[in-house]
Each structure stands twice: as structure tokens, then as C-alpha cells.
């Protein structure tokens, strides 16, 4: 597939992003996040964190968490992130994240967090049983980003509201503490193919780790047979593929599959439609889509296997990454504490 590059005039100064070690990664994580990480690492300083503090906002088996963290780090590298270029590290190894999050808990307003749709979706009907951490999750996310004064944040579309909150927290901190420009107002890097990959069972909800149906997603660990079966069964509608992208507007499942095909082939959805317009989905579109997925994911899976056969090597990369991350974070937190008025300690 084609990796998107960013125009020189929008080169960010520093990039931060992360993925939770909370379960097997899927195609949405791959296209919405990992592919963008690879493109950015050659253009600026990048920090790619394994956000284990975020992961424990929902229950994680302590016996499995360290291995899950290693797997996310391996996924970054298998996708093409080079640990000699980008800093890869676990969030819990840099204590400054939690310290800055506390300061930001005192800057963010309850009303702002009450509007966060992800909390509503994830807590469901039993909000009183959700962890307090899940509620303040976006505040920790703001701390992750601003701890490094990151200016640009590559994420999927689902994170847009959280990034707006990060801007609000930065602006309020700068204003309240009379520190104009201290924290940057970040730019989300959301656009591009794969920014919003939808469920294979329902084109109106995002592809997600926590969807109870495994048929709803392509896991990055799925083999060729599983991928082919999931694409064969992917929900569509009875109409053939249309001639123009405008005709995909009220057809969420068709729109999603065409968008996926385009992202994998490095084409526009219009180019994909040119080839398949008038045909039924099962005829040649779905087999070709399954094939494109297998071609993309097979080398990724092989590299994951190779990397995970040497856990000590991944742990070494994570430890080195944590040291480099701390060297950037510590002086920024110190300066933040001075601005807030904390005495010498």
C-alpha cells in the first residue's frame, strides 16, 4: 500500500501518539494510527507511546499486561516504525505523565468532560460502575501530548473530540497562569485514508477491539483464510457497486468497503469504483479486497512473530525509549510546576 506523506509546509515540530495495550489490534488501529506513524518518523521527532495507564481505565489482567505492552511495541516496529528514529516507550515508565495529568485535572472543567462521547459510549448504561480513570481519560491524554509540547497528533477520527479538549486545556492553562504560548495548541492529523474504519457488520459504528463480534473486525493477527471469510461475510446491501462516490452516501457498508480498498491500494475511492461499478460485491470486488488485505498484513504478521520471539530485545527498546522520553518530559514538567507555583522540592 502507499504510505501518505505530508507536505513540507505543514511539517510538525514534534509528534506524539499512542495505542492502548488492551487487546489485539485491528485494521482500524493499523490504518488510523500505525501507517501514519511510519510516514511521520522521517519528517520530524516522533514519540510513540504504549499507553498502559490508559489501558487500566478498564480491567486488565496484571499477568498479561506486560506482554500486551510488548505486543504493541512490536506492532509499531512491524508496521515500519524504526526505534532508532522514533522514541517508543511505555507510558507508565515515565511518571511525569501522571503528575501533569493531576495538574490538568485541576484545569479542565467538569462540564467539558461531561460532553465527551467516548466516555458515554464506553461506560454504557452503567456509568456509575465505570472507573474514575475512564472519565478523566481525555485529561491524561492531554497530559501525554503536552508533556512533550507535541504540536501534531496522528490519530483516527474517533479521537477528534479528545484532541479539541487538549487544545482547551492548553489554552486555559496558558491563560489562567499568565503563560502565553507555554503549551502549544495542537494540530490533529486525522485526515487521509483509513481515518475512520467502520465495523464489517454495521457501517455506522467504528471497527473496535471491544465489539463483541469478532466478525466485525479484521484483527492484525488474522490469517489469509480468516480474512477471506470475514470479507466474504462482510455486510453489504443488495445494490451493485455504483459509478460515483456520491452514490455511496446512504450506503455505509458499501462506503466503508470501498474506502478500505482505496486505502490499501493507494487509490481514491473514485478510482476503485471505476473498476468495479455495476458489479455485485461478491463477484470480484470482495475477493480482490481480501487479497489486498492479505498482501498488506502477511508481512506484518511475519515480522510480529519474529520480533516477539525475542522479548528481551523489545524490553530493551522500551527501556531506552523511556529514558529518552523522560529527558524531554522532565524539564517541561519542572517548568510547569514552577508556573503553577509549587516550591522547590
Q: Which residues are catalytic?
A: 122, 206, 209
Q: Is residue 29 a contact point for ligand AQP (CB under 6 A)?
A: yes
Q: Is residue 47 a contact point for ligand AQP (CB under 6 A)?
A: no
CB of 275 to ligand AQP, least distance (A): 24
Q: Is residue 136 a contact point for ligand AQP (CB under 6 A)?
A: no
Write the CB contacts of 175 (distance below 8 Å, at least 6 apart in sequence): none
CA distance 303 to 73: 12
CA dihedral of 87, 10, 191, 119, whole degrees rounded to 10: 60
DSSP 26: B
Q: Is residue 155 a contact point for ligand AQP (CB under 6 A)?
A: yes
Write the CB contacts of 139 (distance below 8 Å, at least 6 apart in sequence): 101, 104, 105, 108, 113, 165, 169
CB of 56 to ligand AQP, least distance (A): 13
Beta strand pairing call for 45-50 and 187-189: unpaired
Q: Which of 209, 235, 275, 324 binds ligand AQP (CB under 6 A)?
A: 209
Element (H, E) at 176: helix 160-176
Q: Which of 83, 90, 156, 321 binds ligand AQP (CB under 6 A)?
A: 156
CA distance 181 to 159: 24
State which residue, 166 or 336, has the beta carbon closest to ligand AQP.
166
The residue among 47, 53, 54, 115 whose CA lies nearest residue 83 is: 47
Q: Is residue 32 a contact point for ligand AQP (CB under 6 A)?
A: yes
Which listed range, 152-160, 172-180, 230-238, 315-323, lies at the site for ligand AQP (CB under 6 A)?
A: 152-160
Residue closest to ligand AQP when measured from CB atoms: 32
State which residue, 174 or 265, has the beta carbon closest to ligand AQP.
265
Query: CA–CA distance from 340 to each of 206, 293, 330, 334 (Å)?
Result: 39, 50, 15, 10
CB of 30 to ligand AQP, least distance (A): 8
CB of 155 to ligand AQP, least distance (A): 4
> Which residues sit opposite 206 in a β-bridge?
198
Q: Which of 159, 166, 219, 256 binds ligand AQP (CB under 6 A)?
A: 159
State which residue, 40 or 173, has the beta carbon closest to ligand AQP.
40
Query: CA–CA distance from 172 to each of 102, 141, 166, 250, 308 (Å)?
Result: 15, 16, 10, 40, 43
Q: Residue 193 has which C-alpha cell?
A: 485514508
- Give the per-residue contact string, 164-203, with ligand AQP (x = CB under 6 A; - = no): -------------------------------xxx------
Q: How many helices (H) and strands (E) does the chain have?
A: 14, 5
Q: Is residue 216 a contact point for ligand AQP (CB under 6 A)?
A: no
Element (H, E) at 316: helix 311-340
Q: Is residue 158 a contact point for ligand AQP (CB under 6 A)?
A: yes
Which listed range, 1-9, 14-22, 107-115, 242-250, lies at the site for ligand AQP (CB under 6 A)?
A: 14-22
Q: Which of 12, 14, 15, 28 binds ligand AQP (CB under 6 A)?
A: 28
State which residue, 89 or 173, has the beta carbon closest to ligand AQP.
89
Helix (H, G, I), strand (E, B) or coil at 21: coil
Element (H, E) at 66: helix 62-79
CB of 188 to ligand AQP, least distance (A): 10
Which residues form the interface with ligand AQP (CB under 6 A)? Answer: 19-20, 22, 28-29, 32-33, 155-156, 158-159, 195-197, 206-210
Amino acid at each position: 500500500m502507499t504510505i501518505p506523506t505530508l507536505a513540507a509546509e505543514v511539517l510538525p515540530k514534534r509528534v506524539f501518539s499512542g495505542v492502548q495495550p488492551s487487546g489485539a489490534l485491528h485494521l482500524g488501529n493499523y490504518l488510523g494510527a500505525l501507517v501514519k506513524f511510519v510516514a511521520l518518523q522521517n519528517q520530524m521527532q516522533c514519540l510513540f507511546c504504549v499507553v498502559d495507564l490508559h489501558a487500566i481505565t478498564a480491567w486488565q489482567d496484571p499477568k498479561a499486561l506486560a506482554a500486551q505492552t510488548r505486543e504493541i511495541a512490536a506492532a509499531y516496529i512491524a508496521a515500519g516504525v524504526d526505534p532508532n528514529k522514533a522514541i517508543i516507550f511505555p507510558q507508565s515508565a515515565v511518571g511525569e505523565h501522571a503528575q501533569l495529568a493531576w495538574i490538568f485535572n485541576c484545569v479542565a472543567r467538569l462540564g467539558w468532560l461531561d460532553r465527551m462521547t467516548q466516555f458515554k459510549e464506553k461506560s454504557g448504561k452503567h456509568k456509575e460502575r465505570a472507573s474514575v480513570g475512564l472519565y478523566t481519560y481525555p485529561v491524561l491524554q492531554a497530559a501525554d501530548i503536552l508533556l512533550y509540547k507535541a504540536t501534531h497528533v496522528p490519530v483516527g477520527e474517533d479521537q477528534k473530540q479528545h484532541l479539541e479538549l487538549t487544545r482547551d486545556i492548553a489554552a486555559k492553562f496558558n491563560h489562567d497562569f499568565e503563560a502565553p504560548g507555554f503549551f502549544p495548541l495542537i494540530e490533529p492529523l486525522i485526515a487521509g485514508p483509513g481515518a475512520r474504519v467502520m465495523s464489517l457488520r454495521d457501517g455506522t459504528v467504528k471497527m473496535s477491539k471491544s465489539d463483541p463480534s469478532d466478525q466485525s473486525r479484521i484483527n492484525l493477527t488474522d490469517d489469509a483464510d480468516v480474512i477471506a471469510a470475514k470479507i466474504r461475510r462482510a455486510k453489504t446491501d443488495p445494490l451493485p457497486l455504483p459509478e460515483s462516490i456520491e452514490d455511496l452516501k446512504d450506503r455505509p457498508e458499501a462506503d466503508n468497503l470501498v474506502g478500505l480498498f482505496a486505502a490499501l491500494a493507494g487509490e481514491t475511492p473514485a478510482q476503485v469504483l471505476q473498476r468495479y461499478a455495476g458489479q455485485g460485491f461478491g463477484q470480484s470486488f470482495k475477493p480482490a479486497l481480501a487479497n489486498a488485505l492479505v498482501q498488506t498484513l502477511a508481512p506484518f504478521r511475519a515480522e510480529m512473530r519474529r520480533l516477539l520471539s525475542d522479548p528481551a530485545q523489545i524490553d530493551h527498546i522500551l527501556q531506552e525509549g523511556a529514558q529518552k522520553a523522560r529527558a524531554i518530559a522532565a524539564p517541561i514538567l519542572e517548568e510547569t510546576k514552577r508556573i503553577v507555583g509549587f516550591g522547590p522540592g
